[in-house]
């Protein structure tokens, strides 16, 4: 009996000693939890919305709040469907089949990958394209990451003008596929007094750092692809 009891006692003593040693090491090595940092992290939406300025009562200077925008106006009234699609209800899946079912291969597919990714329900599908509610959007950028056409980008909330098109084909092709697409005619570039609009690869873009919101490019655009963004 003693031959069995002695090894058991030795093993038990070793186990207790190791347990106490590990507890002591854990107590020494554990970093105290910073409850203030944790509370701030939970309070902030992890986006460029300016909430940190309000919570911390601190001026963050010229850092502009961002919101997403879908650079496409290809609703069903402006373009047409070139083929029927039967498959996964996913923009990423449909894009693998000849760029999607819409005539414009650069346009919004409208199956809602971005809407499903948005945690704040800021995106809805309307007339077969995605629309962002910029009052709800926190600028996290998740929608932009999942868009297979890269149509979604984050812009300053106070931006005045935006070319709502991503088509980079020649004007005649664009006009055939979408009646509100940018045709690269360069009228907006010529009339902008600040030189904020440039046309490259048949597509106009607005330099937000130069745009003053005069609206001349919006009035001059023959297809109505430039919109005022508030």
Tokens for 110, please give them.
């409208």
C-alpha span between 64 and 110 (Å, rounded)? 29
pLDDT at 52: 58
Cβ(31)–Cβ(123) below 8 Å:
no
| 65/97 same-domain check | yes
pLDDT at 114: 97
pLDDT at 172: 95
Structural domain span for residue 195: 159-230
| 172/127 same-domain check | no
Tell which of 124, 157, 190 closes a domain.
Answer: 157
pLDDT at 87: 86
| 148/193 same-domain check | no
Is 16 inside a domain boundary? no
Per-residue pLDDT tens listing for the chain (230 residues): 556 767 667 767 787 777 777 777 666 766 666 677 676 666 666 555 555 555 555 555 555 689 999 999 998 889 998 888 888 999 999 999 888 898 999 999 999 999 999 999 999 998 889 999 999 999 999 999 999 999 999 988 776 899 999 999 999 999 999 999 999 999 999 999 999 999 999 999 999 889 999 999 999 999 999 999 87
Instruction: Output the pTM of the full model.
Output: 0.70
Is 179 inside a domain boundary? yes
Q: What's the Cα-to-Cα distance from 29 to each of 3, 22, 25, 34, rounded to whole Å? A: 40, 10, 6, 15
| 107/56 same-domain check | yes
Cβ(108)–Cβ(51) below 8 Å:
no
C-alpha span between 216 and 39 (Å, rounded)? 47
Tell which of 142, 157, 172 closes a domain.
Answer: 157
The CATH number of residue 217's host domain is: 3.30.70.20
C-alpha span between 206 and 155 (Å, rounded)? 11
């Amino acid at each position: 009996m003693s031959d069995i009891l002695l090894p058991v006692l030795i093993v038990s003593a070793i186990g207790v000693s190791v347990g106490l040693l590990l507890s002591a090491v854990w107590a020494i090595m554990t970093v105290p939890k910073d409850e203030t940092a944790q509370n701030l992290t939970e309070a902030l939406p992890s986006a460029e919305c300016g909430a940190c300025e309000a919570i911390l009562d601190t001026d963050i200077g010229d850092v502009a709040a961002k919101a997403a925008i879908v650079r496409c106006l290809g609703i069903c009234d402006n373009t047409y469907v070139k083929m029927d699609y039967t498959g996964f209800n996913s923009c990423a899946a449909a894009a693998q089949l000849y760029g999607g079912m819409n005539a414009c291969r650069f346009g919004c597919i409208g199956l809602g990958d971005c809407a499903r990714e948005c945690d704040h329900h800021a995106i809805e599908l309307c007339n077969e394209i995605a629309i962002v509610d910029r009052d709800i959007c926190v600028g996290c950028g998740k929608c932009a990451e999942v868009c297979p056409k890269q149509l979604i980008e984050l812009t300053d909330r106070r931006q005045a003008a935006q070319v709502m098109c991503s088509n980079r084909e020649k004007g005649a092709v664009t006009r055939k596929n979408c009646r509100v697409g940018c045709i690269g005619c360069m009228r907006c570039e010529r009339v902008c007094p600040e030189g904020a609009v440039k046309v490259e690869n048949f597509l106009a873009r607005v330099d937000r750092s130069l745009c003053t919101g005069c609206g001349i490019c919006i009035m001059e655009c023959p297809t109505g692809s430039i919109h005022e963004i508030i």
